[in-house]
Structure 1
Amino acid sequence: MADTVFAPWDDPDQKPLIRFRNVTKRFGDFTAIDDLTLDIFEQEFFALLGPSGCGKTTMMRMLAGFENPTEGRIELAGNDIAGVPPNKRAVNMMFQSYALFPHLSIWDNIAFGLRRESSDKAAISARVEEMLKLTRLEKFAKRKPHQISGGQRQRVALARSLAKAPKLLLLDEPLGALDAKLREATQFELMDIQEKTGTTFVIVTHDQEEAMTVASRVAVMDEGRIMQVATPEQIYEAPQSVYVADFIGDVNIIRGSATAVGPDRYQIAWAEGRDPVHAVSTRPFSDGQECHLAIRPEKVSIHAEHPAADNAVQGKVLDIAYLGNLSTYHVELPTGEIIKAQVANTRRISRRAFTWEDPVWISWTETAGVLLDQ
């Protein structure tokens, strides 16, 4: 598969399926969406990620037609969709509650929207069978929603949403009601179905792991604004702000002031009487500028002796979080700051090298962290 097919956002010739242009949405005095501009492309699996109240559901409701922007315009396939009622848009929405009809069979639930638009029984039947097969529900077709599991109900809702072949499918926290194991399995099912149908999916979630797993691109939101839009890898490895670094996964933030010591190389004064730490950054910093060094715990190593490393700091083990495959050591520095170091548990726990209160050294390379100015 060519990169441009997978990354249409990098292709200047690709026209976005959805365009938000300077969209603001107010409810009375409250601004839910603040001057937002965003492009979403065809066949993308796009995630809106952020904490409760950040505006992601409002964006989705505007796409679905349940709300109109206060200012700005939203285009779908080049057409302004303001004022177009929900049932006239080539958009379908799958709700968190699934909203299935309890008195109808699975087959009839999937057929419901098709029957309202067509009387061709053969075509409806063929499409329902196709959707049952896609979501692996053929043997449950005659059952009622209460006779199947939560994960299966979720697939029925998905089949019903896709039955009318919408250009765009909106998923509002679709996996929130599922247990962790089932949620993980369903994430991969969703990706598979999205790939097979070629439908553009936009998912709203506050679960970072979910967004990172399913999405081709992620928009991290806060207070009605988009903080960064990028692929999951870029969001994780190259966050553009402390907010994004902190929101996705676990991160250590060291605050200090930067001084250039070579091309793209900086030393960071971070504590009185302590050796500066070193970082590489293509983002320019002026001498003495306040900065934040964001380092992921898995990029921090832990040692019994002083290591030969770009950056080494002494501390003591304050806490250990044992996660089965990983252990996270919370190391307290003499300055009172806590740095997390993550270690893969390749040995049995009885052979763990460090325990509580042990004096240790932590280290990381000068390329391990991301130097941020905000």
Structure 2
Amino acid sequence: MRPGQFIGRGVFFVHHCPVGEKAKPMPQNVFAPWTDPQAKPLIRFENVTKRFGDFTAVDDLSVDIYEREFFALLGPSGCGKTTMMRMLAGFETPTSGTIMLDGKDISPVPPNKRSVNMMFQSYALFPHLTVYDNIAFGLKRDKLPAEQIDARVKEMLRLVQIERFAQRKPDQISGGQRQRVALARSLAKAPKLLLLDEPLSALDKKLRQDTQFELMDIQEKTGTTFVIVTHDQEEAMTVASRVAVMNFGKLIQVDTPTQIYEAPNSAYVADFIGDVNIIEGNATVDGERVLISWAEGQPDIIGTPAQPVAPGRVSFVIRPEKIAISSEKPTDRRNAVHGKVLDIAYLGNMSTYHVEMPDGTVIKATAANQRRRDSLPYTWEDPVWLSWTDTAGVVLAE
């Protein structure tokens, strides 16, 4: 069972280490081979660099990916994630460094000889072939017996739940169904590794969300290692056992979705994943706490860093949902600031309030809309208090 996975229906399991607390050992049934020093990775990048002329797309990158893992490469356009995938597939060769698959250097191995399949963003289905024949194509190329091909294709059709469309052409089915055909074709030859290049980008939001969970189920059933490239943070956080956040050809942080979100190792990661407030200031150390002076006339922010922080310039990172909003000053929290509502984003199940401080700093706070009402509890220009606990945010050295 991996962190961030749904167990059954409506039960969500996460392994969460609150900021400021020591990590506790994971239960034995949790899928986390990266925590086991004896575990051997399926894929190993060792000091891999890829240059195109004077441009460095991947810069001295090292990372291990394990068997049965659903690994996400996440980052903005041009960060190097697609180049990493193309090197795994064999479409690009590293300028330097080594890529190992199951303990063997795959750099000299041509794409068609690797135990790797790739599902393209465009799906790349053959328009003149039926769904059945699209899935069977690679198996026929391998000259497998006809009865073995038929059994494998029918197994894949059942796996992705498109048996009734077997005799249709790609232009006779929906985009979501074409995506399933492409996935079934990619899995038909039972590769050790499946690469998915922005596989859900062509789907509408609702279908994309539904398909994310179907992908997770299929990956669990087949046991195939999936590596997905995406720029969609929500998608990566939903499907992946671990997420690698990239920028300028480097890995900034590789961790579980929970740790990426709750304990980012840099302001870049915090800002890239989800909504966040980043407040810069000067820190002084007071035992296990840090006092952050951030604006004239404002009380110091009290933080509890997960790692030791030296006095000096720091960033205080806190998610909007960690901040409480109230009309009266809270008496049970030491972190409390006063401002006025500048803007409101009503999202149905929740509202995000943009609150302006006297010095002009804007802090976002999210409140759940738990009851049906004609109007929100706070409106524009209302004076409000924002408050949070000492461990709600992350203190990061600059």
- TM band (smaller chain): over 0.9
Distance in 1, Cα, partners of 2:31 & 2:328: 46
2:278 to 250, 253, 277: 253
2:330 is matched with 307
1:335 aligns with 2:359: yes
**Do 1:4 and 1:11's aligned partners in 2 also have CA atoms closer than 8 Å?**
no
1:36 is matched with 61
Distance in 2, Cα, partners of 1:285 & 1:5: 31
1:293 is matched with 316
**Do 2:275 and 2:320's aligned partners in 1 also have CA atoms closer than 8 Å?**
yes
Q: SS of 1:102's equivalent?
A: coil
1:346 aligns with 2:370: yes
Distance in 1, Cα, partners of 2:306 & 2:161: 49
- Which amino acid in 2 is paired with 1:125? D
- Measured at CA, do residues 76 and 204 of structure 1 come closer, stay the same or move farther in structure 2, by a change above 3 Å? same
**Do 1:4 and 1:10's aligned partners in 2 also have CA atoms closer than 8 Å?**
no
Distance in 2, Cα, partners of 1:351 & 1:304: 16
1:138 aligns with 2:182: no
1:332, CA displacement in angstroms? 0.6
**Do 2:340 and 2:381's aligned partners in 1 also have CA atoms closer than 8 Å?**
yes
1:51 to 76, 83, 90: 76
1:325 to 320, 340, 349: 349
Moved more, 197-206 or 339-348: 339-348
1:15-74: per-residue Cα shift (whole Å, max 9, x none)? 000000000000000000000000000000000000111000000000000000001000
2:32 is matched with 7
- Which amino acid in 1 is paired with 2:59? D
2:340 is matched with 316
**Do 2:309 and 2:396's aligned partners in 1 also have CA atoms closer than 8 Å?**
no
Please report the TM-score for the alignment, with normalisation by the length of structure 2.
0.92
Write out the 4+ residue segments of structure 1 that deviate beyond 3 Å after TM superposition: 1-5
1:244 is matched with 269
Q: SS of 1:75's equivalent?
A: strand
Moved more, 127-136 or 272-281: 272-281
Please tell me the root mean square deviation across aligned C-alpha atoms, in Å: 1.0
Distance in 1, Cα, partners of 2:30 & 2:143: 34
- Which amino acid in 1 is paired with 2:395? L
- Measured at CA, do residues 144 and 183 of structure 1 come closer, stay the same or move farther in structure 2, by a change above 3 Å? same
Count of residue correspondences: 372
1:284, CA displacement in angstroms? 1.3
- Measured at CA, do residues 223 and 4 of structure 1 come closer, stay the same or move farther in structure 2, by a change above 3 Å? farther
**Do 1:167 and 1:199's aligned partners in 2 also have CA atoms closer than 8 Å?**
yes
Equivalences for residues 119-130 of structure 1 within 5 A? 119-130=144-155
Equivalences for residues 90-239 of structure 1 within 5 A? 90-239=115-264
Distance in 2, Cα, partners of 1:83 & 1:30: 23
Distance in 1, Cα, partners of 2:327 & 2:195: 51
Distance in 1, Cα, partners of 2:62 & 2:283: 33
Unaligned runs of 5+ in 2: 2-26
1:165-202: per-residue Cα shift (whole Å, max 9, x none)? 00000000000000001001100000000000000000
Distance in 2, Cα, partners of 1:68 & 1:185: 35
Q: SS of 1:203's equivalent?
A: strand
**Do 1:328 and 1:341's aligned partners in 2 also have CA atoms closer than 8 Å?**
yes
1:98-128: per-residue Cα shift (whole Å, max 9, x none)? 0000000000000000000024101001000
**Do 2:306 and 2:394's aligned partners in 1 also have CA atoms closer than 8 Å?**
no
Please report the TM-score for the alignment, with normalisation by the length of structure 1.
0.98
- Which amino acid in 1 is paired with 2:283? A
Distance in 2, Cα, partners of 1:52 & 1:282: 31
